[in-house]
Amino acid sequence: MPVYRLPKKIAFPQPELSEEDGLLAVGGDLSVERLLHAYSLGIFPWYSEGQPILWWSPDPRLVLFPCDLKISKTLKQTMKKGVYRVTTNEAFEDVIRNCATVRRKGEAGTWITEDMIQAYVRLHEAGFAHSVEAWHGDELAGGFYGVMMGKAFFGESMFAKKTDASKVAFAVFAADLAQRGFHFIDCQVTTDHMKRFGAKEISRDEFLERLRLALEVL
């Protein structure tokens, strides 16, 4: 399959036209309008500094159904002790910048460029991008951010400066989404980390159908 070069107008090819690795299109911009249109089609941007904007729709897709959330015994103990205070949208830009700079084991760089940071700050200001923070006293110890549309949450990235900080934030948030009737959390690509929370792979076709239903409650 060819990789499509996006026109200036806000439009994407069908996700089913993605290459085997999930790459669908190149180019375009990171405007609020284009990002929202992409997410509504199950497409997200992911690229490195120096590359053009790359747009993806992988198959299979890793999702977590909030009612299937799994929390380990040790994480439950940490949550019970009240080590961290969890908030939402109190420090969005701090969270995304930490996601860009706090290194994870086995990773040498980041895909969260300055352009991406500014784009998601604009999405946050528009009411679609949200952050979840874990505080240790007054210190931002961990957290994550993503995009919320309808009854779907699209997770983007997380960071932790202290043990289990981002895990606590995620567990609290996912449990809250379950209470609010959210259909799924999109984890995008498969990782053992998210699978331990109960995330599982589904086909792109199933994901797109579930996304359609989740967006009907916009």
Judge whether 134 and 200 are in contact, CB under 8 Å: no
How far is 149 from 215, CA to CA, in rounded Å? 7
Q: Which fold has domain 62-215?
A: Aminopeptidase (3.40.630)
Q: Which fold has domain 4-58?
A: Alpha-Beta Plaits (3.30.70)
pTM of the model: 0.95
Strand order in the sheet with 85-88: 85-88, 129-136, 139-149, 152-160, 184-188, 61-64, 200-202
How far is 203 from 154, CA to CA, in rounded Å? 16
Tens digit of each residue's pLDDT (9 = 90 or more) over 70-79? 999 999 999 9
How far is 148 from 142, CA to CA, in rounded Å? 20
Question: Domain coordinates of the chain in residue numbers?
Answer: 4-58, 62-215
Tens digit of each residue's pLDDT (9 = 90 or more) over 164-216? 999 999 999 999 999 999 999 999 999 999 999 999 999 999 999 999 999 99
